[in-house]
Copies of this chain bind each other. A is one copy, B any other.
């Protein structure tokens, strides 16, 4: 077992996050933060967010010509129409290959401590390079992406504007930076939970407040905390009891593939729970289709508890308050291909 999560779990057990008798809003505000669009800029490292970069990233995010088949864009799996994810259980990529894990939502991902279920990318610009090259996803190469972008004058001009100091602005790295800039705008403020956190006591009803209290007192919030109600830290899936094989397939050992330490077997980045009601199915395997079942599984495998039905219902009611304003995004008009643009391969 890795020391970090033992320490964290001990903290949860030894110092419950709040006493039931305390002020719910105050207790919650000590554990969670509202989604704050103004906080985005300081989340992004080594990549100044400029309007030119966001606009370029907007186009690139939706451009299927970044994939080998020219059919699959970032938006295919991170669908902004449906909570920033696809329909699941896991994603389908080049040549209809099935990916191993559920797509994580791009919404609010800028507030995650690291990217991917196993945290193998430190930030969104590192993440953006992964699926473009993954054989089971977009199956492309940096050289082919650069050839495509350089063949399209509209893109060349936009890269020059977005990266004005660069000698060679059209690059795979700058593609990733522009996508990070756009993705950092995809945040969902103004959920009812956020209104409650900011002081509107009527934003949650009694059942939802009970759910929030249970979420903190039972220990869920020991891992699912912060602005994203999760998204940072790594914990094993199956602390108290091993999940069903279907939900936690034996072959996918999670974080340990990154750290090369068996102590991290079956550890995953804590799932961020913002907008969770919009994006079933749940878990990295995408095999659980309702929040009721997901809460039941978590209580059993992580806390060793079988919750009364009304407690599960209350927690689910609380989770439903985490749905924020979905970003309003134009469907971009992309610059047209030219005779020099590589042809799709499928």
Where the two chains meet, the residues of A that have a C-beta atom closer than 8 Å to any C-beta of B are: 62-65, 69-71, 76, 79-83, 86-89, 92, 95-96, 98, 277-278, 280-281, 289-290, 326, 328-334, 336-337, 339, 343-344, 346
Contact = CB atoms under 8 A, between A and B. Distances in A.
Contacts of A344: 87-89
Given A92-B69, A289-B343, A330-B331, A337 B81 contact: no
Contacts of A80: 331, 333
B334 A82 contact: yes
A278 B96 contact: no
Given A96-B95, A289-B339, A328-B330, A63 B83 contact: no
Contacts of A332: 81
10 shortest interchain CB distances as A-B pairs? A70-B87, A96-B96, A81-B334, A326-B333, A329-B331, A87-B344, A278-B336, A331-B331, A290-B339, A95-B96
- The secondary-structure label for the interface of chain A is loop
A149 B346 CA distance: 32
B92 A64 contact: no
Nearest to A343: B289
A66 to B, nearest CB: 11
29 contacts: A62-B81, A64-B79, A64-B87, A65-B82, A69-B87, A69-B92, A70-B86, A71-B76, A71-B86, A80-B331, A80-B333, A81-B331, A81-B333, A82-B334, A82-B336, A87-B337, A87-B344, A88-B344, A92-B346, A95-B96, A96-B96, A96-B346, A98-B346, A278-B336, A280-B337, A289-B343, A290-B339, A329-B330, A331-B331
A189 to B, nearest CB: 15
A337 B280 CA distance: 8
Q: Which of A71, A88, A346 has the most CB of B within 10 A?
A: A71
Nearest to A90: B346
